[in-house]
A and B are shown apart, each in its own frame.
Chain A
Amino acid sequence: MKIVVAYKWAANPQDAEVGPDGTVDWSRAKGAVSEYDPVAFELARVLADTCAGEVVGLTVGAAAIDTPLARKAALSRGLDSLVMVADDALRGADGTRIAAVLAGAVRAIGDVDVVVAGESSVDVGDRQVAMTLAAQLGWAGLNAVRAVTADGGSLVVEREVAGGVETVVAGGPVVLAATADAALPRVPGMKEILGAAKKPTQVLDLAALDVPAPADTIAPVSTARPDTGNRQGVMLDAADLPAAAAQLTAALRQSGVL
């Protein structure tokens, strides 16, 4: 079974600075494997280990994603090999474009049985790339995946759905988007980190993937911080607990919460 982990080498939000007007300065943010993706690496590795499979990492983005550090950071997370599309034509590309390029890369890799991705990217948070990728490939797409196991030539997939868990069998190629807590990602160990540079990496030429040019149908108009509401910051003196409880319920009633 050939499993592709589609991940993003994204700016680390911990390094970003938010200005008073809500603008985000990413200029000092270092790259890292997007926070929601290690769970996809873990699901893929465990799945591959149960069926003698192979795990190929796949990431696309601007030329800056192809650094020795970025390669080793991904390869130390249980991958057998890595494929990248690193081209400045992809700088700032939207989710639809990224999914199209990922689809081209998956076709170029060939004989892929399943693509596993995180539920979202940590910097943009579109939550749509994995399912758009499935559509681009013409494959089934399942999001909210919390577990996956191999059963003969099929995959048994557990999904979180409203009010419960759904179990489905996927008999053909499929794209899975894992929930953030689907697995506890292992911490890359000494051997994995020190051995990462020895694993094969292939850089695909964007032009050779024959991905159609993007249609300029969507352009961001504005961004704004979410409304945090009108915080009142009421302080209660807890020295007299019954009185404090009464004050709390009164304050909650006054604000309309109760």
Chain B
Amino acid sequence: MDFGLTDEQELLLESLGDLLERECPESYIADLDLNHQQPTSFRKAMNDAGFGSLGFPEEYGGTPCDAVTLVLLAERVARQGLNNGYGLELLQATDILEFGNEDQKREILGYLAAGEVPFALGFTEPGAGSDNSAMATTAVHHDGLVTFNGTKTLITSALASKNLLVMAKDPAVENPREAISMYLVPMDSPGLTTNRLDKIVWHISDSCEIFMDDVTLPESCLVGVKGAGFKQLMRNFELERLVIAANCLGQAQCAFDDAASYAAQRVQFGKPIGSFQLIQLKLTDMAIKLENMRNFVYRTAWMVDQGLPLKSQGALCKRYCAMAGFEVADEAMQIFGGVGVTVGTRVSRLWRDLRGHRFGGGTDEIMVHIAGRQIVKDHS
């Protein structure tokens, strides 16, 4: 079993490290967090260096990429302390490149090149989230137009986006799997209004409610095939869970490194607190969790590259890494003591942001729902 990196992966990580040092220092991230802003300039720099089209088809200027390399890069950006800094937007854009029309592709690629969020994913509703069959937002096609009505909530980055990738159902179709379609809806469409939701996590990504009251657009806003929205959306969910897990790994590593350095420097009773066995126990257990996370993420990515069916693997990986990542950050904060909870410390931001991954992209509990039934099925 070869755990080594390829030459290309080593060089990519070195290059990314240089780019992060130049374009994404801690002061930059802290400012984004404080002012609740997106990392636009960093994303633009990533795009200029070619990282913004990773995995895209070559006809769109993309570069083919394996899953292991993708998670290595996502982990490295997260290790800088930046939450959701890389990877997820690529997977989302892939939906458009795969299923969208030429106008939609051109528009989304343009936003990516500018470092902007190409679109927000409008899926969750007040009465529906993981239970997509309960979705209530409707899209009614008539006279070459589509009219949307409904409410979306907890939508990430919509206020910073030009578009919303709306999942909505045709009320005339009973089977929810065949009723849902995918649409690209401009955020400034008449009838679309928003309400910001302030939250204690993920400050660089806004959240909001979105109300659609008779929002009417040409049918060309449909993405892909009518009625196939759910299948289209599910296509990248396994990879999305994997990238989230890599993000948790990187941020947890960042928290661990900060805590270990602090333990080596903070002196109490005449010696560094890292010399006390209770602190060493914490650091050791944190290191074990990080090693487990790393192995889980890399192996899952390797399975993707081998074309092996993930079955429950993606959900297991996401659940473990989200929980273990937060536990590492929590212990890191404990090692920092009172300093850790003061506003502006990196460990406090990591603690907040890692907490968000226990529900973002699917709760810990829904991962059990996904993995558990698969495990039972495999053994029946």
* Contacting residue for A190 out of B7, B14, B18, B50, CB 8 A: B50
Contact assessment for B11 and A190 in the assembled complex, using a CB-CB cutoff below 8 Å: no
**Chain A, residue nearest B19 (CB):** A187
Chain B residues within 8 Å of A68, by CB? 7
Let me know if B7 and A187 touch, CB within 8 A: no
- Complex: A140 Cα to B7 Cα, angstroms: 38
Q: Which of A76-114 contact B (CB under 8 A)?
A: 76
Complex Cα distance, B51 from A69, in Å, reads 20
Residue of B12, B22, B51, B53 with most chain A CB atoms under a 10 A cut-off: B12
Question: CA A22 – CA B109 in complex, angstroms?
Answer: 54
B138-182 at interface with A (beta carbon < 8 Å): none
A192 near B: Cβ within 8 Å?
A: yes
Q: Which residue of B lies closest to A191 (CB)?
A: B50
- B265 within 8 A of partner (CB): no
Interface on B for A, CB 8 Å cutoff?
7-8, 10-12, 14-15, 18-19, 22, 48-51, 53-54, 63, 65
Q: A73 to B11, Cβ gap below 8 A?
A: yes
Whether the Cβ atoms of B18 and A69 lie closer than 8 Å is: no
Q: How many A-B residue pairs have CB under 8 A?
A: 45
Are A190 and B22 neighbours in the complex by a CB distance under 8 Å? no
B18 adjacent to A193 (CB under 8 Å): no
The closest CB in chain B to the CB of A69 belongs to B7
Q: Is the interface of A mostly helix, strand, loop or mixed?
A: helix
How far is it, in angstroms, between the C-alpha of A46 and the C-alpha of B158 when the chains are bound?
A: 40
Bound CA–CA A204/B33 (angstroms): 53
> Using Cβ atoms and an 8 Å threshold, which residues of chain B touch A69?
7, 10-11
Determine the chain A residues whose CB is within 8 A of the CB of B53 once the complex forms: 190
Q: In the assembly, what is the distance between CA of A186 and CA of B8, in Å?
A: 17
Q: Please, which residue of chain B has its CB at the minimum distance from the CB of A76?
A: B11
Q: How far is the CA of A186 from the CA of B15 in the complex (A)?
A: 10
Any B CB within 8 A of the CB of A194: yes
Taking the closest CB of chain B, its distance from the CB of A72, in whole angstroms, is: 5
Within the assembled complex, what's the spacing in Å between the Cα atoms of A191 and B12?
10
Taking CB as reference atom, which chain B residue is nearest A192? Answer: B50
Contacts known (A68-B7, A189-B49); A194 close to B15, Cβ less than 8 A: no
A73 to B8, CA, bound (A): 9
Are A188 and B15 interface neighbours, CB within 8 A?
yes
Known contacts A69-B11, A188-B15; 7 additional CB pairs below 8 A are: A187-B22, A189-B15, A189-B49, A190-B12, A190-B54, A190-B65, A194-B63
- Whether the Cβ atoms of B50 and A72 lie closer than 8 Å is no
Q: Please encode chain A, from 47 to 83, with 1 for each CB lying within 8 Å of some chain B CB and 0 for all others.
A: 0000000000000000000001100110010000000
Query: From residue A96, how far is it (CB to closest CB) to chain B in Å?
Result: 31
Q: Please tell me which one of the listed residues B11, B22, B48, B54 contacts residue A188 in the complex, with CB atoms under 8 A apart.
A: B11
A10 and B10 alpha carbons, distance in the complex (Å): 17
CB distance from B4 to the nearest CB of A (A): 11
Q: How far is the CA of A166 from the CA of B12 in the complex (A)?
A: 38
Do the beta carbons of B49 and A72 come within 8 Å of each other?
A: no
Inter-chain contacts of A193 with B (CB < 8 A) = 8, 11-12, 15
Residues of A within 8 A of B63 (CB): 190-191, 194
Taking CB atoms, residues of chain A closer than 8 Å to B19 are 187
B49 CB contacts on chain A under 8 angstroms: 186-190
Bound CA–CA A187/B23 (angstroms): 11
Closest residue on chain A to residue B17 by CB atoms = A187
| Chain A minimum-CB-distance residue to B52 | A190
Output the least CB separation between A11 and chain B (Å).
Answer: 15
Considering the complex, give the chain A residue whose CB is closest to the CB of B16. Answer: A187
